[in-house]
């Protein structure tokens, strides 16, 4: 019952992705609380499986994670050195000359890394900025120089080759480790692997790593059941009207728990991994209503996320991506780590 997280699936996915990039070290991206799965559980499991490099988005996330990992685990902070950030025990990935100079002034001799912008126009130093500080930055020995792909989940997208060429050009002659690929880039093949790969979503069972083992199951409890007559409505805005006599179960999670409101009238909860019970009416804050007329008996619980309805299927129904489904799962569930 509640949210079940299979740490064995996460570590198996990490090993499978590491094996796709045999020449590179394989990090683990555990930002946003390990995509909602719980970084304090996920990161130590990955450490035990062999991961030594971790990535978070914010220094605050890094500080929360630091006590859960041994000292030889490196926690890299993708937002770099923001003013006032507490970077003790962490490695900032510096994104601009301003961050570089701030970091060197405040943390001389401490480890850092560099992010370059190879075309995504989101984070990292642009070519001219990098050119201007390159010699000084390399003399300070960054742990690695990285960039990030914008379209790696679309193998045919021309931006992939263009970003690869731009990254190669910017790193010509650089004699520190290089890193370009997250999950999607690993799957693009060896040209994209360099020295360090940084998978996130693939660890947690999401596309584009189609062979990933699912890492979460979400089962919701039935609070109440009622029979409605044809013509009666259900839920806010009278969003659904029963076309025939129906049995409706009210289940204990809603959009405040990450059951996206966009699933109103779209998804289904599954019984015994197969019988679909359609979500009827609007998803409300704490509750959803489902049509269980097809079931002979009303079960104690129904599943929203399970192998028959993986995160990417739900994402399609809600018009989003698996990443948002996972990171929307909030703290109200009872969690079980397996």
Ligand X SMILES: *Cc1c(COP(=O)(O)O)cnc(C)c1O
The verdict on 309 binding ligand X (CB under 6 A) reads: no
Residues of the binding site for substrate:
122, 285
Q: Which stretch binds ligand X (CB under 6 A): 137-145, 179-187, 246-254, 267-275?
A: 179-187
Write the interaction track for ligand X spanning residues 113-152; mark x where CB under 6 A is met and - where it is not: -----------------------------------x----
Residue 15 is among the residues annotated as catalytic for this protein: no
The verdict on 201 binding ligand X (CB under 6 A) reads: yes
Selected from 104, 134, 198, 282, the binder of ligand X by CB under 6 A is 198
Q: Which stretch binds ligand X (CB under 6 A): 18-26, 61-69, 181-189, 234-242?
A: 181-189
Cα distance between residue 5 and residue 313, in whole Å: 18
Q: What are phi and psi of 227, to 5 degrees?
A: -95, 130
What number of other Cβ atoms are within 10 A of residue 85's Cβ? 21
Residue closest to ligand X, measured at CB: 200
Write the interaction track for ligand X spanning residues 79-98; mark x where CB under 6 A is met and - where it is not: --------------------
Of the candidates 3, 16, 5, 2, the residue with the CA atom closest to the CA atom of residue 211: 16
Least separation in angstroms between residue 264's CB and ligand X is 27
Decide if 13 contacts 46 (C-beta within 8 A): no
Given the residues 15, 35, 236, 333, the one annotated as active site = 236
Residue 236 is among the residues annotated as catalytic for this protein: yes
The verdict on 78 binding ligand X (CB under 6 A) reads: yes
Cα distance between residue 277 and residue 165, in whole Å: 49
The verdict on 183 binding ligand X (CB under 6 A) reads: yes
Least separation in angstroms between residue 200's CB and ligand X is 3
Least separation in angstroms between residue 110's CB and ligand X is 21
Nearer to ligand X, 63 or 115 (CB): 115
Least separation in angstroms between residue 35's CB and ligand X is 7
Nearer to ligand X, 152 or 248 (CB): 152
- Interface of this chain with ligand X, residues 26 to 65, rule: CB under 6 A: 29, 31
Least separation in angstroms between residue 183's CB and ligand X is 3
Catalytic residues: 31, 236
Q: Interface with ligand X by CB under 6 A: which residues?
A: 29, 31, 78, 148, 182-184, 198-202
């Amino acid at each position: 019952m509640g949210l079940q997280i299979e740490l064995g699936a996460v570590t198996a996915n990490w090993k499978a992705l590491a094996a796709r990039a045999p020449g590179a070290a394989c990090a683990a991206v555990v930002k946003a609380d390990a995509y909602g799965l719980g970084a304090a559980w996920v990161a130590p499991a990955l450490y035990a499986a062999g991961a030594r490099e971790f990535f978070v988005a914010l220094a605050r996330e890094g500080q929360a994670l630091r006590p859960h990992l041994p000292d030889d685990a490196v926690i890299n902070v993708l937002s770099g050195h923001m003013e006032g950030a507490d970077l003790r025990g962490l490695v900032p990935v510096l994104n601009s000359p301003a961050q570089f100079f701030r970091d060197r002034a405040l943390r001389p001799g401490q480890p850092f890394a560099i992010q370059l912008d190879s075309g995504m126009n989101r984070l990292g130093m642009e070519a001219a900025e990098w050119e201007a500080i390159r010699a000084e930055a390399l003399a300070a020995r960054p742990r690695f120089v990285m960039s990030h792909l914008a379209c790696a989940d679309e193998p045919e997208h021309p931006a992939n080759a263009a970003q690869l060429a731009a990254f190669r050009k910017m790193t010509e002659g650089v004699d520190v480790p290089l890193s370009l690929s997250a999950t999607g880039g690993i799957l693009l093949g060896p040209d994209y692997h360099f020295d360090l790969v940084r998978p996130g979503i693939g660890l947690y069972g999401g596309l584009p790593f189609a062979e990933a083992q699912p890492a979460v199951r979400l089962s919701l409890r039935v609070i109440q059941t009622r029979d409605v007559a044809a013509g009666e409505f259900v839920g806010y805005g009278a969003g659904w009207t029963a076309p025939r006599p129906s049995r409706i179960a009210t289940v204990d999670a809603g959009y405040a728990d990450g059951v996206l409101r966009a699933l109103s009238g779209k998804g289904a909860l599954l019984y015994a991994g197969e019988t679909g019970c359609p979500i009827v009416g609007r998803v409300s804050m704490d509750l959803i209503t489902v049509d269980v007329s097809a079931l002979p008996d009303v079960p104690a619980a129904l599943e929203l996320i399970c192998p028959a309805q993986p995160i990417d299927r739900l994402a399609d129904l809600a018009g989003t991506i698996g990443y948002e489904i996972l990171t929307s799962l909030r703290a109200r569930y009872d969690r079980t780590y397996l």
